[in-house]
Amino acid sequence: MTPADLAATHALCFTTPRPWKAQEFQTLLDSAHVRLFGSSNAFLMVRTILDETEVLTLATHPDHRRTGQARALLAQLHDTVQGRVFLEVAANNIAAQTLYKHAGYKVGGRRKDYYRHPDGSRVDALLMARTLGN
């Protein structure tokens, strides 16, 4: 999976604030703290520092949604890390919130007007987390 593959799938999944570019994926992949799970159909990118893992992005190609791939990627992550896992999700992204809630994540906060849409409107981000191991 190349950074260009990741960027192409990401562009099909996200418009807010904007899809990530191939060079941004390359920069993240060059970091010793960043890990990538999945394929060009569905991928999960995280950054782990000490006992905290941040979900940077989770993207499933529209042609492959509702096939359990995102759930499987989260399970794979949960099998490989310990400690706190956290993420931000748009308050209007009910499908993603449902996925994370079913995976054991709980809402712990809100960032008001965090995401900006191309039309200038804004959406809050929900902060979700769960603790693994110990």
Please state, in angstroms and rounded to a whole number, the distance separating the CA atoms of residues 9 and 23: 14
The catalytic position among 24, 54, 88, 115 is 88
- Sheet strands side by side (includes 83-90): 34-38, 42-49, 52-60, 83-90, 122-132, 106-116
Instruction: Write out the H or E segment, with its range, that includes residue 129.
Output: strand 122-132
Q: If we measure between CA atoms, which residue out of 94, 95, 79 comes closest to residue 132?
A: 79
The catalytic position among 24, 52, 100, 105 is 100
Contact 45, 57 (CB under 8 A): yes
Is 52 known to be catalytic? Answer: no
Please state, in angstroms and rounded to a whole number, the distance separating the CA atoms of residues 9 and 21: 11
- Catalytic residue positions, numbered: 88, 100
